[in-house]
Amino acid sequence: MHKKLVCMVLGICVNILGAAGTASAKVIAKNKFKGTVAAVTCSQTESIVCDGGSAGSIQTDIFLSGEEFVSKSNNFPPDAQNNLFVTAVRSNSCTGETSASFGSLADGSDQSLQSADLNGVVPLRNEDNSPAGTISVDVALQGVGKVVKNKSKLRFDFESPEGTTIVISISMKGSTRSATASGTLSLDGTPVACTFGEGTLMDTKSGDKTVEHR
Residue 114: predicted pLDDT: 97
Residue 156: predicted pLDDT: 80
Return the domain boundaries, the chain.
2-15+40-209
Give the angle subtended at the CA of 124 by the CAs of 123 and 127, to the nearest 5°: 150
**Residue 150 to residue 34: CA distance in whole angstroms:** 14
Residue 82: predicted pLDDT: 82
Q: Name residue 143's amino acid.
A: G
**Residue 62 to residue 76: CA distance in whole angstroms:** 19
Using CB atoms within 10 Å of the CB of residue 47, give its burial: 0 to 12 exposed, 13 to 18 middle, 19+ buried: exposed
Residue 188: predicted pLDDT: 95
**Residue 80 to residue 213: CA distance in whole angstroms:** 24
Residue 7: predicted pLDDT: 31
Q: What is the pLDDT along the chain (214 residues), one digit of tens a residue?
A: 433 333 322 222 222 222 333 345 788 878 777 789 999 999 999 999 999 999 999 999 999 999 887 555 555 555 547 889 999 999 999 998 888 999 999 999 999 999 999 999 999 999 888 999 999 999 999 999 999 988 878 788 877 656 667 888 888 888 999 999 999 999 999 999 999 999 999 998 888 888 888 7
* Residue among 207, 154, 168, 149 at smallest CA distance from 17: 154
**Residue 205 to residue 68: CA distance in whole angstroms:** 12
Residue 21: predicted pLDDT: 38
Work out the end-to-end distance of the chain between its first and last CA atoms, rounded to an integer number of angstroms. 15
